[in-house]
Amino acid sequence: MQSSALVVNGLTKKYQDFVLDNVSFSVPSGTIVGLIGENGAGKSTTINAILGLINKDSGTIELLGKPDSAFDGDLRNQIGVVFDGSNYPDALSAKKLNSVFKNIYSAWDENRFFSLLQEMSLPADKKIKDFSKGMKMKLSIAVAFSHNSKLLVLDEATSGLDPVVRDDILDMFLEFVQDESNSILVSSHITSDLEKVADYIVFIHKGKVVFCKSKDELRYKYGIIRCGAAQFDAIDKDEVIAYRKQDYEWELLVADRDAAQRKYPKAVVDPATIDEIMLLYVKGEAK
């Protein structure tokens, strides 16, 4: 049985104007799990609760086989975290950051850090304030990779980056999970990135988990029926997850596109992208 690097069960956090409601999912070891959802859906709240940045109201979180109540010392050494944007003081350089982290992480690998800097073309002596956004993000990732992390937690780590830098970073993620004891939880609203690297997709909407499925199931089984009004009326809505009217056609999301194609041979049934699935869940209607 595949073990899990992260298990979130019934996570709840209440704010005045928002509730993260009974969120449950897991990150199996050796996999990349993508957390998707629109802005304000609860992705960052979920990640903040997992990392102990906010106190949860209820639920349990298990990190690398240990409950989150034991989330300090050894456990934190094994978890690499990357937040959106730069989170290191601008006055420091990568070299100084190395000295700081050498005194914080017990497993800090100085050689690995400097070789990653070189690999990513990041200057060691330049102040962080002179780095571009992409360079700052790469630096955060270099730090996360330099203390023998077993689990990476990344909150919008690729947002605001150009496609070339994003591609480099995604390749690093894929390389990281080549070791099957390593895992990644990455939140992003750039679903194309997740389509490239994620093994599982967790979709959060209005603080609730809508689905938690393997990416292959979404890519190879889910589909969108595109049809006119007459055909739309003829389709059994019990088989449809969500639907919405576009300018000239109806779009209907189905969980089994082959079955839909067999049942409605005259209809156009296209594979669904994660973006389309997300949009239909958020903007579409359900029976």
Partner 1 sequence: MKGLLLKDYYLIRSILYIILVVFAVIGIGMSFLTSTWVLTVIATVMLGMISVTTINMDKSSGWRKVSAVLPVSKAAFVDSKYVLYLLLSGIGLLLGIILSAIVSMFRGQLDYNFMLLFISISIAMALLSGSMTIPFAFLFSEEKSMLGLIIAYPLSALVFVGAALLIDNELIACSLVAIAGMVLYTASWIISRKRIANRDVN
Residue ranges binding partner 1 (CB under 8 A): 48, 51-55, 72-77, 79, 81, 83, 85-92, 96, 99-106
Minimum gap (Å) between residue 274 Cβ and partner 1: 28
Give the span between the Cα atoms of 242 and 217, in whole angstroms: 17
Amino acid identity, residue 180? E
**How far apart are the C-alpha atoms of 121 and 123, rounded to whole Å?**
6
Instruction: Report how far residue 246's alpha carbon sits from residue 223's, in angstroms, rounded to the nearest whole number.
Output: 16
User: With respect to partner 1, which residue has the nearer C-beta, 75 or 161?
Assistant: 75
Least CB distance from residue 143 to partner 1, whole Å?
A: 9
CB of 40 to partner 1, least distance (A): 14
**What is the Cα–Cα distance from 24 to 71, expressed in whole angstroms?**
19
* Complex with partner 1: residue 106 or 115, whichever CB lies closer: 106
Task: Specify the residue, 149 or 158, whose C-beta has the smaller distance to partner 1.
Answer: 149
**CA 169 – CA 196 distance, rounded (Å):** 12
- Residues 139, 88 contacting (CB under 8 angstroms): yes
Closest to partner 1 by CB, 82 vs 278, is: 82
Radius of gyration, CA atoms only, the chain: 21
Contact 168, 196 (CB under 8 A): no
For residues 34 and 52, what is the distance between their CA atoms, to the nearest angstrom? 20
Residue number with CB closer to partner 1 (28 or 80):
80
Residue 57 CB, nearest approach to partner 1 (Å): 11
Provide, rounded to whole angstroms, the least separation between the CB of residue 89 and partner 1: 5
